[in-house]
Amino acid sequence: MLEYLTQALAGLKAHELASTWADVSGFLIAIFGFGATLVGVRKSKNAALAAQQAAQATRDSIRLLETIVDFSTAIAVLEDIKRAHRETGISSTLPERYATIRKQLIVLKASHVKLSDDQLAVIQNAVANLSTMEDHIEKALANKSVFPVTKFNFIISRDIDKLVDVLTALKTDQEVRNGAEQT
């Protein structure tokens, strides 16, 4: 073995690559050090990717939670509109309330939370219904006529039920994500 190392050093000297064992050992240390550096860089890169994925998952979770809160608020506002229909009938504040809830639903539809086509259709249908009802209320206010409270509350109740289904699906998704994050 010693003879093999002596021949190797002689070969390195002949090619002017090393003149002493110190040169050889320095070269080997540099090679192994470079390899260890590459391994460290790879581990750092993997850790950075994992941190980036965790940050994205947190952003998605927050976005989903905000969407859940917005859906809950929209449903509560629709319930308030139904109550206002029953208590006051037609009033000049109703068109504003309809416009506000329509805008909120449009924002929900455009949110960055992935909603299915059916869920998007539920939101779009509610927006269309609210727009039509707002138009009827505006006309009734202008003509000082009555409007069909029972029919409007039925339509709003149906839209609320469908929005509650979407809300329930979003909450289930949130619970599944929270369960996956804990494991």
pLDDT band at 85, cuts 50/70/90? Answer: confident
In a domain, 141, yes or no: yes
What was the pLDDT predicted at 181?
Answer: 62
* Average pLDDT, rounded, for the chain: 83
The number of domains in the chain is: 1
Instruction: Give the mean pLDDT of 77-103.
Output: 88
Residue 6 inside a domain? The answer is no
Please give the Cα distance from 41 to 110 (Å, whole number): 40
Tell me how far apart the alpha carbons of residues 24 and 12 are, in angstroms, rounded to a whole number: 9
- pLDDT 10s digits, 131-177: 999 998 888 888 888 778 889 999 999 999 999 999 999 888 878 77
- The answer to whether residue 28 sits within a structural domain is no
Residue 105's nearest CA partner among 86, 132, 78, 85 is 78
Q: Distance between the two ends of the chain, CA-based, in angstroms?
A: 53
150 domain residue, yes or no: yes
pLDDT band at 102 (very low <50, low <70, confident <90, very high): very high
- Residue 137 domain flag: yes
Evaluate whether residue 5 is within a structural domain. no
Residue 54 lies in a domain: no
pLDDT of residue 74: 92
pLDDT in tens, 105-136: 999 888 877 888 999 999 999 999 999 999 98
Model confidence at 183: pLDDT above 60: no
Quick check: is 18 in a domain? Answer: no
Residue 15, classed as helix, strand or coil, is coil
Cα 69 to its chain centre, rounded Å, is 13
* pLDDT higher than 80, residue 76: yes
Whole-number Å distance between alpha carbons of 163 and 127: 11
Name the pTM for this structure: 0.69
Report the Cα 26 to chain-centroid distance in Å: 53
142: which 2 tokens?
């202008």
Measured CA to CA, the distance from residue 106 to residue 119 in angstroms comes to 13
Q: What is the DSSP string of 129-183?
A: HHHHHHHHHHHHHHHT----HHHHHHHHHHHHHHHHHHHHHHHHHHHHHHHHHH-
Cα radius of gyration (the chain): 34
CATH number of the domain where residue 105 is located:
1.20.120
Domain carrying residue 133: 63-182
